[in-house]
Amino acid sequence: MNNIKTFTASNMAQAMAMVKAHMGSNAMILHTRSFKQGGFLGFGAQTVIEVTATVEDEKPRRRKTTRTPRPALNAPTRPPLVGPSNPQPMAGDLIRRTYAAALSEQNQQAQQPQQNYENNSTFNPPQPIITPPPVHPASHRPNPVQPQVSKTQAKESARTTESAKQLAEEMQAVRRMVERLMQQQASRGEEKPADLPDQLFDQYMNLLKQEVAQEIAQEVVTQVSHRLTEKELENPAKVRKAVRDAISEFIPAHHEQWDLEPTGDGRPRTIALIGPTGVGKTTTVAKLAATFKLKQAKHVGLITLDTYRIAAVDQLRTYADIIGIPLHVCNTAAELDSAVSKCSGCDVILIDTAGRSQRDDPKLEQLKKFVDTANPHEVHLVLSSTCTQKVMLEAAKRFSDVRTDRIIFTKLDEAVSFGVLLNVSKQVGKELSYITTGQEVPHQIEPTAPLRLADLVLSGELAS
């Protein structure tokens, strides 16, 4: 039976902490969402994170009792059931030893025939030792209370056997996963994780847990193993820092921060945001406009092509009125060309486009014509970090024809893990410009810093 609970907090890290505190580390996230609460016209509203989670109920434990049944007169004392004498290994040690065992067997397969797993495994769970009941002579039969003791011992034996069987099944599943992983690595000639020092191995497993692609995780730990000395590899802090630095090198971030580079053609720096529907383009444009106007004291021109959604135009117009910048609404390429000309005296022009399905070729072609008309210096593809890696990669591929040269990751506050962002960044190969961490305008947007994203990947939490 599952317990399903919903938690609300001001940020994702706090919400996840509440889930862990109330439901334990085995809780499974079913759904996350964020919404605004309070405020006026989007200003001053508080972001609320809602997380729904579930956890399997544990099987009820048998109540312990201090009462011991009194043995019958002249009945021989039966030895107690003997369970495992050693404590269960921790999960990390268990997996590490499984890797080592699988590697050892893989190296021995060429010299000797494959043996049965039950006889060969390093992790055969200890079987309970059950002493058979003694045979009593007819003249010395035990008291009738003895059969009740035997029944109790039989139940305990069944429970112990069931627990051992369950452990064996779990270890076989881990073993199969490890062997598949090792076979994939062997086919590519990669160094096997079992050869890694303990601290580096732990970091490798953490990267996989955060959904970093296996080949990237392998490359990261390989680089670190070559950069650190044998003694440094025993230091957890130094290993983590080296892994963090290596991850940051995979992130092609743009380093201009909030500064606007000279355009070289005498035009205002023109920035267009494109992307699928619902990724947060309009809110991101509003954040950029407010930041350049209020924090950088720039003269900003705002253009929207998102006339398909009346709410989007009204939302952007409200923001434009509050921060005191002009908004131009365009339906055609000619209107767009005129609006760009009217903004010629600005420092920066921001263009919000309508969301497009990456599979709608006619709409993508229309978007391409708009972008060609505006001739922006930067075209940012906006991707939501709540999407799967497959969806983000498909969007990046289909929008590449629209002169995309940079990536914005939005909704990091709703992301389940950040390893996917690293995978997409490496595969797409475009510079990362900004990340957004909530819906508040003008806050919760920041230039992408490689070390900042590396920290997110390692910790799995969005720390402010």
* Per-residue pLDDT tens over the stretch 125-180: 444 444 455 555 444 455 554 455 556 666 666 666 676 677 777 666 665 665 55
DSSP code of residue 128: P
Alpha-carbon distances, residue 297 vs 42, 85, 290, 304, 346 (angstroms): 22, 71, 10, 22, 11
Question: CB burial class (10 A; 0-12, 13-18, 19+) of residue 44?
Answer: exposed
Give the model confidence (pLDDT) of 181-211 as tens digits: 555 554 444 445 557 889 999 999 999 999 9
> Is 378:271 a contact under the CB 8 Å cutoff?
yes
Structure token pair of residue 110: 């060429």
C-alpha to C-alpha distance for 131 and 79, rounded to whole angstroms: 7
Other beta carbons less than 10 A from residue 120's beta carbon? 13
Paired with 300 in beta bridges are 348
Handedness of CA 317, 415, 413, 405 (dihedral sign): negative
Residue 335 identity (one-letter amino acid): E
Give the model confidence (pLDDT) of 283-327 as tens digits: 999 999 999 998 889 999 999 987 666 677 888 889 899 989 999
DSSP code of residue 12: H
C-alpha to C-alpha distance for 13 and 343, rounded to whole angstroms: 41
Q: What is the pLDDT of residue 377?
A: 94
C-alpha to C-alpha distance for 200 and 196, rounded to whole angstroms: 6
Indicate the pTM of the whole model.
0.60
DSSP code of residue 122: T
Cα angle 208, 214, 219 (rounded to 5 degrees) comes to 110
Count CA atoms closer than 13 A to 361's CA, side-chain side. Answer: 0
Domains of the chain: which residue ranges? 2-56, 151-186, 190-248, 269-459
C-alpha to C-alpha distance for 160 and 153, rounded to whole angstroms: 10
Number of residues assigned to the chain: 464
269-459: CATH number: 3.40.50.300
Q: What is the pLDDT of residue 65?
A: 44
Q: What is the pLDDT of residue 374?
A: 94
> Is 355:306 a contact under the CB 8 Å cutoff?
yes
Which string of DSSP letters, residue by residue, matches 403-447? T--EEEEE-GGG-S-SHHHHHHHHHH-PEEEEEE-SS-SSSSEEE
> Is 274:394 a contact under the CB 8 Å cutoff?
no
Paired with 53 in beta bridges are 5, 29
Encode burial over 324-363: b for 16+ CB neighbours within 10 A, e otherwise. Answer: ebebbebeebeebeebbeebeebbbbbbbbbbbebeeeee
Residue 396 identity (one-letter amino acid): A
Residue 333 identity (one-letter amino acid): A
> Is 280:384 a contact under the CB 8 Å cutoff?
yes
Residues in contact with 97: Cβ distance below 8 Å, sequence separation at least 6, in sequence order: 89, 122, 123
Helix (H) or strand (E) holding 4: strand 2-9
Q: What is the pLDDT of residue 41?
A: 52
C-alpha to C-alpha distance for 144 and 98, rounded to whole angstroms: 48
Q: What is the pLDDT of residue 400?
A: 87
pLDDT tens, per residue, the chain with 464 residues: 567 889 898 888 788 889 888 888 778 777 778 777 776 555 566 778 888 888 766 554 444 444 444 444 444 444 444 444 444 444 455 555 555 555 555 555 545 544 443 444 444 444 444 445 555 544 445 555 445 555 666 666 666 667 667 777 766 666 566 555 555 554 444 445 557 889 999 999 999 999 999 999 999 999 999 999 999 999 999 999 999 999 999 998 876 567 777 788 889 999 999 999 889 998 999 999 999 998 889 999 999 987 666 677 888 889 899 989 999 999 899 999 999 999 999 999 999 998 766 566 788 888 999 999 999 999 999 999 999 999 999 999 989 888 899 999 999 999 888 999 999 999 998 999 999 998 888 788 999 999 999 999 999 888 65
Q: What is the pLDDT of residue 74?
A: 44
- Long-range pairs, 439-442, Cβ under 8 A, ≥24: 439/34, 439/36, 439/47, 439/283, 440/45, 440/47, 441/42, 441/43, 441/283, 441/286, 441/287, 441/290, 441/319, 442/286, 442/287, 442/290, 442/291, 442/294, 442/295, 442/323
